[in-house]
Amino acid sequence: MTVDSDTVAVGSEAPDFTLEAIDGSQISLSSYRGKPVVLVFLRGFR
């Protein structure tokens, strides 16, 4: 996944995005609106 956008400030609303789940279904961040969500972004070591 790549996103062309500015940095999102801590505590601000994240932009909507969609990812493919392990079972092949599509999961969108907006489908969790109003529910607690924790996003963790890890950087590769290469």
- Please give the pLDDT value at position 35: 94
Which pLDDT value is given to residue 5?
58
Q: What sections of 1-46 are H helices per DSSP?
A: none
Q: What pTM, to 2 d.p., does this model score?
A: 0.58
pLDDT at 40: 83
SS3 27: strand
pLDDT tens digits, residue range 3-39? 555 677 888 888 899 999 999 999 999 999 999 988 8
What tokens appear for 31 in the block?
A: 């489908």
Element (H, E) at 18: strand 18-20
Residue 44 has pLDDT above 90, yes or no: no
Sign of the torsion formed by the C-alpha atoms of 33, 16, 19 and 43:
negative
Higher per-residue pLDDT: 8 or 46: 8
